[in-house]
Structure 1
Amino acid sequence: MTGFNDQVIEEFRRTKGNLGGRFEGWQLILLTTTGAKSGKRRTNPLGYLEIDGKTVVVASNMGSPSHPGWYHNIRRDHRVTIETGAETYEAIAAVPSAAERDALFARIVAEERGFADYQAKTSREMPVVVLHRIDDRVRGMGDFLVEVHDWLREELKTLRAGVDEIVAGRAESLGIAKPLRAHCVSFCDALTKHHTGEDMGAFPMLAQRFPALAPTLTRLGEDHVVVATLQKRIRELVEGYVHGESDPVLLRDDFDELAGKLEAHFAHEERTVVTALNVTAPG
């Protein structure tokens, strides 16, 4: 099939998607993925459907007993390139949940009966894949996550300023100690709630839809455990701080360690999951 695909790809690009012969009138795109084993870019011509404004493809492999190579590729790296003939754009490939897959496949078969014939030829369930265009104008859950991070960053700055006053010995005269304790409790509660929401909701959803993200999400979850230990220590130091008895430098050093780990965690999370969150659940 490689030689045949190469001919189709060449004609598709030359005619800007207006194929003739057996493909005349077909809705085709070129899907370029990164090889799961080779790491090389691979391009395949695929039939597609537009369902509720989304580009949907089926890993039919013409009813063969095994999934096509491009499907294995998107499970390792969900970043893909789409060519329509009129334009080329970047996208990410999502694997719907079982219920979503069944609903989509029913609509696909209603429009293109050939996919039902392919499914009848094989015992494997043919996967359905949704291709989400990456668009900087989209706002969604990912942008909300960044906003939460920015709020937490500002709260950290406020807490750090209070710690600095304690180290400088001005906390008692300025009446800072009590408000700092309350602020610390509020911050820790908000951070715990944020991370719990990710661990229980956002991360499992992303891992299901974007299998390639699974190792990253595991690491982020491990970061949450480390951060929880640090914030518990900070909270204990702040709540138990006694002027003239406790070591303010220890408090500052532990706080800086927490702040550094949090900033690295926030930055890594924003680099790796914001786009996936935005296209999965746009606001």
Structure 2
Amino acid sequence: MTAAGQRETIEDSPVGWVASHIRRYVETDGADGGTFHGIPSLLLTTRGRRSGKLRRTALMYGRDGDNHLLVASNGGAGTHPAWYLNLSADPTVEIQVGAERFAARARTATAEERVRLWPVMTKVFPTYARYQKGTDREIPLIVIERAPQEESTID
């Protein structure tokens, strides 16, 4: 929250098609945008590691019980996406799945978890396997765990 008690401004992805996806998602509580080419999609809000501003992007996700799973593929690039660097610096995030918004904590899966969860995510989006083969970096798999109700959100 800002000093006046108003919610901070959230800056959406500067990538045109992603910003459009986010706008439709927010305007319809995920009815339009809750899937992307048939794959479940959520909105992730992180705090910029340098700017301190709230940043939002749309991402495909999988599930592991109550947890949401993300892959920091960056389209198979040799560098991590900005959203991953942000949550690595500050793991307090907010996600929106459909109409539901909630505070959460993000963390990179352990090596043991990754062995079990990577196949979950390559089933959701098989191209992740090709991305991993095409880069020297290990593409991070992120576990998003809902924060207890009494914890405040990132705003």
- Superposition TM-score, scaled by structure 1 size: 0.45
Which residue pairs with 2:97 in the alignment? 84
1:24 shift after superposition: 4.6
Q: Which runs of 5+ in 2 are unaligned?
A: 1-13
**1:135 Cα deviation (Å)?**
2.5
Aligned residues: CA RMSD: 2.0
Q: Which residue of 2 aligns with 1:103?
A: 116
Pairs within 5 Å for 1:229-248 = none
The letter for the 2-side match of 1:85 is G
- AA paired with 1:97? T
Unaligned runs of 5+ in 1: 138-274, 276-283
- How far residue 103 of structure 1 moved from its aligned partner, in angstroms, is 2.1
Tell me the amino acid that sits aligned with residue 55 of structure 1: H
Residue 32 (structure 2) pairs with residue 19 (structure 1): yes
Name the counterpart of 2:67: 54
Correspondent of 2:137 among 119, 124, 127: 124
Q: Secondary structure at the match of 1:27?
A: strand
Identity value in percent = 36
- The answer to whether structure 1 residue 8 and structure 2 residue 26 are counterparts is no
Greater relative contact order (Cα < 8 A, sep 6+): 2
Q: How many residues align?
A: 137
Instruction: Name the structure with the higher strand share.
Output: 2
Whole-angstrom distance in 1 between the partners of 2:56 and 2:72:
14
- Check conservation: 1:93, 1:131, Cα contact below 8 A: yes
SS at match of 1:75: helix
TM-score (norm 2): 0.79
Verify: 1:65 aligned to 2:84, yes or no: no
Question: Partner of 2:7 in structure 1?
Answer: none
Structure 1 residue 69, shift from structure 2 partner: 0.4
- Counterpart amino acid of 1:78? P
- 1:35 counterpart = 2:48: yes
How many Å apart are 1:98 and its aligned residue?
1.6
Moved over 6 A (4+): none
